[in-house]
């Protein structure tokens, strides 16, 4: 029998790298030596403990209170809860808003169309209608007047992003929060990705200091560089938070009493986050935020000098959306081909499909690990654009494209997707082809509803 740890290490070797700044989505690298090992040691010390009952494991309650206090100190106060991630924080913000308004029969939330998909998931899970309001087509910032017009008697929550994941721009939080307050509605600021960086950037106030903001989410597994599984949801006061909590005495076992959607909760993530926050400290985070912000600025300026690419909007944080010059991503340089060329040069950039006024683009998350290495990224990006120009658009048979364009969601079947996968050389086992531009072109042609169905079927194949 092989050593399971050796086997695990071998499996992990085939993943995208989590260090070195070459994976420009999903992972966040502080580049601080020894931080992983330190966090892992803290994780191991608390992983067997169960956050299900804070009276049985008071250490976890203490750690959570201290983690929340650190977040509150940074983001304008409030009371909070540690959750498993940004999605859970956003879900709970919507749930609490819904359940605090039993008078509203068919509740809705008003979000900018650039809000994270977690809000659509919340709508889907909790039976809340999501009213997605178009944003400014040039800046990609939410439009407070349009949001105000979308608020009605069914609205239980209004959302702003600081910043948005897709474009890295900060919505006009004060104006949106004023709209919400004026209508007696809650306002959530999704600072999941920016909450640990923006306090050190030159941006307008966006947190609980802003009048009308009732809750803020921030993910510690992003720019607090903690191991995955930790986010904080802050509410302005305990009254606003109450509807988030759940108790059930309707069974013969222990009375279930939960702060989050989880019940049994590993002590590992919160302990690791607590230890990492302590170790890095306020000065350390200021330094790390500065590095990531400067790196994003350098990369943004560098991209401005690459003919064929443009950065969408005016990103103020550490995220960039890079489109092909000419608008729809098919005119000049095909960004999906650029992504493949970057991959061949050892970088992962995340394709984002066209949506609303936003053309197809590549998402880049810059972290402290990119600081000082911007020239390598820009040189490879430049070379990738040149190669993409040479190659042109990926070859996808027009008949296949037309067929996908003509699909309705209900026509997407498991068999049909199996056929498509075979046609694109993706038989199964979850191994993606080296070059994804053809697949991305097909998915782009599918449009959002059909794309969702295709990918859900694909997930079924991966998990079969
Ligand atoms: C990452 C992110 C989320 C979701 O967080 P997960 O930790 O991936 O669940 C929500 N909102 C924004 C703005 C994000 O960047």
In eight-state DSSP terms, residue 312 is -
For residue 220, give the 3-state DSSP assignment.
coil
Spell out a b/e string for 158-182, using b for 16 or more CB atoms within 10 Å of the CB, else e: bbbbbbbbbbbbbbbbbbbbbbbbe
- Residue 94 located in a structural domain: yes
Looking at residue 428, what is its pLDDT?
60
For residue 322, give the 3-state DSSP assignment.
strand
| Model confidence at 330: pLDDT above 80 | no
- Residue 295 located in a structural domain: no
- Residue 345 located in a structural domain: no
CATH number at residue 134: 3.40.640.10
- Which of 225, 256, 277 is the last residue before a domain boundary? 277
Domain, as residue range, for 426 = 398-462
Query: pLDDT-based confidence at 327, cuts 50/70/90?
Result: very low
Burial of residue 137 (number of CB atoms within 10 Å: 0-12, 13-18, 19+): exposed
Q: How far apart are CA 221 and CA 241, in angstroms?
A: 22
117 Cα–ligand 1 center, Å: 8
- Which of 228, 245, 277 is the last residue before a domain boundary? 277
Q: Is 192 in the pocket of ligand 1 (CB under 6 A)?
A: yes
Mean pLDDT of 391-411: 91
Rounded to two decimals, the pTM is 0.97
Tell which atom from ligand 1 comes closest to the C-alpha of 231. Answer: 7
Looking at residue 417, what is its pLDDT?
86
**Which of 26, 165, 169, 194 for a ligand 1 pocket mutation test, highest count of atoms within 8 Å of Cβ?**
165
- Residue 452 located in a structural domain: yes
Q: How far apart are CA 100 and CA 203, in angstroms?
A: 32
Tell which atom from ligand 1 comes closest to the C-alpha of 87. Answer: 9
Looking at residue 433, what is its pLDDT?
85
Number of domains comprising the chain: 2
Q: Are 212 and 187 in contact (CB under 8 A)?
A: yes
**Which of 193, 216, 320, 321 for a ligand 1 pocket mutation test, highest count of atoms within 8 Å of Cβ?**
193
| Model confidence at 96: pLDDT above 70 | yes
- Give the tens place of pLDDT for each residue, 7-49: 999 999 999 999 999 999 999 999 999 999 999 999 999 999 9
Looking at residue 432, what is its pLDDT?
82
Query: pLDDT-based confidence at 419, cuts 50/70/90?
Result: confident
Residues in the chain: 464
Tell which atom from ligand 1 comes closest to the C-alpha of 228. Answer: 7
- Residue 286 located in a structural domain: no
CA distances for 156 relative to 216, 306, 353, angstroms: 16, 45, 30
Mean pLDDT of 190-218: 98
Q: Where are the beta strands (DSSP E) in 259-397?
A: 309-311, 319-324, 350-352, 361-365
- Residue 346 located in a structural domain: no
- Residue 89 located in a structural domain: yes
Q: Which of 22-26, 81-85, 316-320, 403-407 has the lowest mean pLDDT?
A: 403-407
241 Cα–ligand 1 center, Å: 20
Looking at residue 122, what is its pLDDT?
98
Which helix (H) or strand (E) segment is 248 a member of?
strand 246-248
Q: Which of 215-229, 340-354, 415-429 has the lowest mean pLDDT?
A: 415-429
Q: How far apart are CA 262 and CA 379, in angstroms?
A: 45
What is the chain's mean pLDDT, rounded?
A: 95
Half-sphere exposure of 380 (CA within 13 A, CB side): 16
Which one has a higher pLDDT value, 71 or 393? 71
- Give the tens place of pLDDT for each residue, 140-189: 999 999 999 999 999 999 999 999 999 999 999 999 999 999 999 999 99
- Give the tens place of pLDDT for each residue, 253-311: 999 999 999 999 999 999 999 999 999 999 999 999 999 999 999 999 999 999 999 99
Mark residue 249 as left, alpha or beta (left: phi above 0; alpha: psi -120 to 50; beta: remaining).
alpha
350 Cα–ligand 1 center, Å: 15
114 Cα–ligand 1 center, Å: 12
- Residue 343 located in a structural domain: no
Q: Is 116 in the pocket of ligand 1 (CB under 6 A)?
A: yes
Q: Is 171 in the pocket of ligand 1 (CB under 6 A)?
A: no
Q: What is the dihedral of CA 31, 36, 38, 40, to 10 degrees?
A: 160
List Cβ neighbours of 302 (8 Å cut-off, separation of 6 or more). Answer: 374, 375, 377, 378, 381
Tell which atom from ligand 1 comes closest to the C-alpha of 221. Answer: 7
Looking at residue 329, what is its pLDDT?
44
Nearest in space to 444 (alpha carbons), one of 349, 337, 346, 343: 337
Looking at residue 427, what is its pLDDT?
62
251 Cα–ligand 1 center, Å: 34
Query: pLDDT-based confidence at 446, cuts 50/70/90?
Result: very high
Mean pLDDT of 57-62: 98
List Cβ neighbours of 60 (8 Å cut-off, separation of 6 or more). Answer: 46, 49, 50, 51, 54, 265, 267, 270, 271
Looking at residue 423, what is its pLDDT?
74
Q: Which residue has its alpha carbon closest to ligand 1 atom 5?
A: 86
**In which order are the strands placed within the sheet that holds 309-311?**
309-311, 319-324, 361-365, 350-352
7 Cα–ligand 1 center, Å: 31
Q: Is 85 in the pocket of ligand 1 (CB under 6 A)?
A: yes
Nearest in space to 318 (alpha carbons), one of 368, 392, 249, 374: 368
Q: Is 218 in the pocket of ligand 1 (CB under 6 A)?
A: no
Q: Which residue has its alpha carbon closest to ligand 1 atom 12?
A: 192
- Which of 252, 277, 302 is the last residue before a domain boundary? 277
Q: What number of H helices and E strands is found in the chain?
A: 15, 13
Tell which atom from ligand 1 comes closest to the C-alpha of 161. Answer: 13
Q: Is 190 in the pocket of ligand 1 (CB under 6 A)?
A: yes
């Amino acid at each position: 029998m092989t050593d399971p740890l050796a086997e695990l290490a071998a499996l992990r070797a085939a993943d995208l790298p989590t260090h070195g700044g070459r994976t420009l989505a999903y992972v966040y690298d502080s580049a601080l030596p020894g931080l992983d090992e330190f966090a892992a040691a803290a994780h191991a010390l608390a992983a067997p403990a169960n956050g299900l009952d804070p009276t049985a494991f008071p250490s976890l309650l203490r750690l959570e209170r201290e983690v929340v206090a650190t977040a509150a100190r940074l983001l304008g106060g409030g009371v909070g809860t540690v959750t498993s991630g940004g999605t859970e924080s956003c879900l709970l913000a919507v749930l609490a808003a819904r359940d605090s308004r039993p008078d509203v029969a068919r509740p809705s939330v008003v979000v900018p169309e650039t809000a994270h998909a977690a809000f659509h998931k919340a709508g889907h899970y909790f039976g809340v209608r999501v009213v997605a309001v178009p944003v400014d087509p040039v800046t990609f910032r939410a439009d407070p007047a349009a949001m105000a017009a979308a608020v009605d008697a069914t609205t239980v929550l209004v959302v702003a992003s600081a910043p948005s994941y897709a474009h890295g721009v900060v919505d006009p939080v004060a104006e949106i929060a004023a709209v919400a307050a004026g209508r007696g509605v809650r306002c959530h600021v999704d600072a999941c990705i920016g909450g640990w960086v923006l306090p050190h950037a030159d941006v307008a106030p966006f947190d609980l200091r802003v009048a009308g903001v009732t809750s803020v989410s921030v993910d510690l597994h992003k720019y607090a560089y903690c191991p995955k599984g930790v986010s904080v949801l802050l509410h302005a006061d305990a009254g606003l938070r109450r509807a988030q909590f759940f108790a059930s005495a309707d069974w013969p076992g222990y009375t279930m009493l939960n702060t989050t959607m989880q019940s049994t909760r590993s002590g590992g993530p919160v302990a690791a986050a607590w230890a990492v926050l302590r170790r890095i400290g306020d000065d350390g985070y200021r330094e790390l935020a500065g590095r990531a912000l400067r790196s994003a600025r350098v990369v943004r300026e560098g991209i401005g000098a690459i003919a064929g690419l443009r950065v969408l909007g005016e990103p103020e944080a550490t995220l960039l959306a890079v489109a092909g010059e000419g608008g729809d991503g098919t005119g000049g340089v095909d960004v999906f081909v650029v992504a493949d060329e970057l991959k061949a040069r050892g970088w992962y950039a995340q394709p984002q499909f066209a949506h609303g006024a936003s053309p197809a683009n590549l998402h880049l998350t810059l972290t402290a690990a990119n600081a000082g290495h911007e020239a390598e990224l820009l040189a490879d990006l430049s070379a990738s654009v040149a190669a993409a120009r040479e190659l042109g658009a990926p070859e996808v048979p027009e008949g296949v494209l037309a067929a996908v364009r003509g699909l309705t969601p209900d026509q997407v079947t498991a068999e049909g997707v199996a056929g498509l996968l075979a046609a694109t050389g993706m038989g199964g086992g979850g191994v993606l082809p080296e070059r994804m531009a053809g697949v991305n072109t097909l998915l782009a042609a599918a449009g959002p509803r059909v794309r969702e169905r295709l990918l859900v079927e694909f997930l079924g194949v991966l998990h079969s």
